Chain A
Amino acid sequence: MTGLTFQPERTAVEAVGLGARYRRRWALQDCSFRLPAGRVCALVGPNGAGKSTLLSLAAGLRRPAEGSLTVFGGRPGAADVRPRIAYLSQDKPLYPRFTIADTLRMGRELNPGRWDQAVAERTVADGGLSHEARIGDLSGGQRTRVALALAFGKRPELLLLDEPMADLDPLVRHEMTAALMAQAAEHATTVVIASHVLAELEGVCDYLLLIADGRVRLAGEVEDLLAAHSVLVGRHEGPGLPREFATHTVVESRATGRQLTALVRPDGPLPEQWRATEPSLEELLLAHLRSPGAPALLTPSAEPRALRRRLHAQGASRLPEAAA
């Protein structure tokens, strides 16, 4: 299934120098990344990092203050792009006095020529919900299910989910994740899931976007990002880092007694006296969340094409000068 849905050359979302501001506070600043189509991407970051802002920008709910963000090559609010995006906001607002049937009818009325009633009804029926139930009488988890049904019914090509599973019990969370993955696989949907519950992302997402303090820290395939890091464990005494770490980028290091544990981005062969293992996704994320100063890392597929072209053009123009 993933073989079919993986389309590395198609771009779902691309941001270049993206900034968003709430009055005087910058929620996002100088964000550049690319999300290839067909990926299931985890959008991770501490509270207030700008995850929700990024998603609402991609959903066309707000305009960037600077830079650009494109979805499938167009402005998210453009008439030919908006129908292809579905968005589930954190608070899952729905009209409380509508019944579920009304809510799905709204989906049909507002998505002419796109709406898939069968998919939406199936999502609702899987939760054992009656169509005549009022939204206001539903539990948080049931509301999430209806909101997801509304999103699925739109047959989106890009599905943006802001903390979708926060109010679901573990069993329902598991079911909803399965439904989500089935949808994504069946329709080649690109999915972005914002979350700070790391456990809910492991094994689901194959792409990662980590933002902190409004900036992109990590972006790329989960596998490649994990492979680009090593956890080193060894004995070390004294202040500062061991000399043999100098050639590598140290993301985070912690000393317990005489034992030092460090997460590094190796550049060249690793020192032999240190035990090196590949980090788990959780270790990788936690290390980066604890060390906001670590330099950003974007895998090649996560570099914005527009930016890459510009850099290449600049590089080409600089070469003769260097030669002279």
Chain B
Amino acid sequence: MSTTASVTRITPGGPVGPVGPVGPVEPAGRPPRSLGIAWLVWRQHRTTAWIALAVLAALCAELVWLRSAMTGYVAQHGLAVPCPDGDGCAARHAAVDGFRGRFLDVIGYNALLLEFLPFLAGLFVAGPVVARELESGTYKVAWTQSVSPLRWFAVKLGLPVLALVAGASLLSAAFTWTWRPVGHLEQGRLVDGNRWYEAFDALGPAPVAGVLFGAALGALTGLLVRRAPAAMAATVAVCAVLYWPLTAVRPYLADPVTQTRPASADYPPALSGSDSWRYERGMTTPSGGRLPDARCIEASSIQHCVTGHGADGWYLDYHPAAHFQRLEWAEAGLVTAAAAVLAGGAVWRLRRLCP
């Protein structure tokens, strides 16, 4: 069978055939570096990659500047040591306000960007990486070369996801490094609004796990929807919808500390204003049960209101700052597991799609 074919075949790589003028556009002596599918993926996304790299470098430089400016301010105003009670604290409050006026917005914007990284990753993977290829039909070109569609998809998704995870890791590490020296000072008052439990999604492993999740979701929606704009919109919508239950379970990922206070106390325990994440307050019954917070704090007589509900005290569930790492890694594990489920769905879809 194969002998008949080789008889008539002109030897490949031999002297260039006699037909037509041969334009020596590329010198024949250039050694061909073969990168396979990786070259194709790089060529397709190199503009995006260069832009992303430039933005990443600029952000890292900005974070280095921010950290040195913040630590400089803290050292200059002696904010690193607790305030000795007395007159010195008035000047200190002014210094804290000055810090917040100067740096809080910048910290906030950086945190916001990191919190939106999963969305950006999902948008990129869903649209330009997956759906555009299926929409424009260019996948047919790739699938009819010599490499198998499954390998093409593996490299096509693998390389961008690797790059996204690397970029998110670097950015998250830089932001955490910038935030840490000031994050817990003055009971977290310096970074009010971006305390550890408020900037939770921008710190530590959270953005990296989020990017994995976004990328897996983007791959799945891209493969399912197969239209770039629709797939991108679907990714953002699903990402936003799935984000809500995630934040709802967050406090229960580690055992909280519970503080109780008898009803005879003047006020229930405060919900805000500390470095602890005070996420749930309610009333306790004499039998040891729990009742939801019935807005008794707004009543004219708090005590009366509490006893009127048949309760005899207050409880407060909170996570002290010491729980930060535990919660971060527990949630990162949960999000990564969800990403794995979505990636499994994408692989299942891929196998159905590939001939």
Q: Which listed residue, A83, A94, A98, A101, touches B146 by the CB 8 Å rule?
A: A83
Q: Which listed residue, B12, B16, B143, touches A122 by the CB 8 Å rule?
A: B16
- Chain B CB within 8 A of A140 CB: no
Within 8 A of B (CB), among A102-161: 102, 105-112, 114, 116-119, 121-122, 125-126, 131, 150, 154-155, 157
Within 8 A of A (CB), among B143-198: 143-149, 152
Residues of B within 8 A of A118 (CB): 16-17, 22
Stretch from B134-142, B305-313, B322-330, B337-345 that touches the partner: B134-142
In this complex, the interface size class of chain A, counting residues with CB under 8 Å from chain B, is: 35 or more
Stretch from B31-39, B57-65, B222-230 that touches the partner: B31-39
Chain B nearest CB: distance from A159 CB in Å? 11
Interface readout for A44-66 with B: 1 if CB under 8 Å, 0 if not?
Answer: 00000000000010011111000
Interface readout for B1-38 with A: 1 if CB under 8 Å, 0 if not?
Answer: 10011011110110011011111011000001011110
Chain B nearest CB: distance from A18 CB in Å? 14
Q: How far is the CA of A37 from the CA of B9 in the complex (A)?
A: 14
Q: Is the CB of A109 within 8 A of B10?
A: no
Residues of A within 8 A of B137 (CB): 89, 91, 93
Q: Which listed residue, A86, A109, A187, touches B9 by the CB 8 Å rule?
A: A187
Stretch from A2-10, A22-30, A230-238 that touches the partner: A2-10
Q: Is the CB of B144 within 8 A of A60?
A: yes
Interface residues of chain A: helix, strand, loop or mixed (majority): mixed
Residues of B within 8 A of A223 (CB): none
- Chain B CB within 8 A of A211 CB: no
Residues of B within 8 A of A324 (CB): none
- Chain B CB within 8 A of A186 CB: yes
- Chain B CB within 8 A of A191 CB: no
Chain A nearest CB: distance from B118 CB in Å? 27
Interface readout for A161-184 with B: 1 if CB under 8 Å, 0 if not?
Answer: 000000000000000000000100
Q: Which listed residue, A62, A79, A87, touches B148 by the CB 8 Å rule?
A: A79
Chain B nearest CB: distance from A69 CB in Å? 11
Residues of B within 8 A of A7 (CB): 4
In this complex, the interface size class of chain B, counting residues with CB under 8 Å from chain A, is: 35 or more
Q: Is the CB of A60 within 8 A of B141?
A: no
Residues of B within 8 A of A96 (CB): 136
Interface residues of chain B: helix, strand, loop or mixed (majority): loop
Q: Is the CB of A119 within 8 A of B144?
A: no
- Chain B CB within 8 A of A77 CB: yes
Interface readout for B313-355 with A: 1 if CB under 8 Å, 0 if not?
Answer: 0000000000000000000000000000000000000000001
Q: Which listed residue, B5, B16, B23, B140, touches A87 by the CB 8 Å rule?
A: B140
- Chain B CB within 8 A of A222 CB: no
Residues of A within 8 A of B16 (CB): 118, 122
Q: Is the CB of A131 within 8 A of B26?
A: yes
Residues of A within 8 A of B32 (CB): 108
- Chain B CB within 8 A of A15 CB: no
Q: Is the CB of B40 within 8 A of A122?
A: no
Chain B nearest CB: distance from A84 CB in Å? 9
Chain A nearest CB: distance from B111 CB in Å? 35
Q: A83-B146, A87-B144, A118-B17 are in contact. Are A109 and B12 (CB under 8 A)?
A: no
- Chain A CB within 8 A of B295 CB: no
Chain B nearest CB: distance from A140 CB in Å? 15
Q: How far is the CA of A101 from the CA of B21 in the complex (A)?
A: 18
Q: Is the CB of B355 within 8 A of A154?
A: no
Q: Is the CB of A150 within 8 A of B1?
A: no
Residues of A within 8 A of B40 (CB): 106, 109-110
By Cβ-Cβ distance, the 4 closest A-B pairs, closest first, are A110-B145, A93-B137, A83-B146, A188-B8
Residues of B within 8 A of A (CB): 1, 4-5, 7-10, 12-13, 16-17, 19-23, 25-26, 32, 34-37, 39-40, 43-44, 136-138, 140-149, 152, 355
Q: Mind listing 19 A-B residue pairs with CB under 8 Å?
A: A4-B7, A59-B143, A60-B144, A85-B144, A89-B140, A94-B141, A96-B136, A105-B39, A109-B34, A109-B40, A121-B22, A121-B23, A121-B26, A122-B16, A122-B19, A122-B20, A154-B145, A186-B10, A186-B17
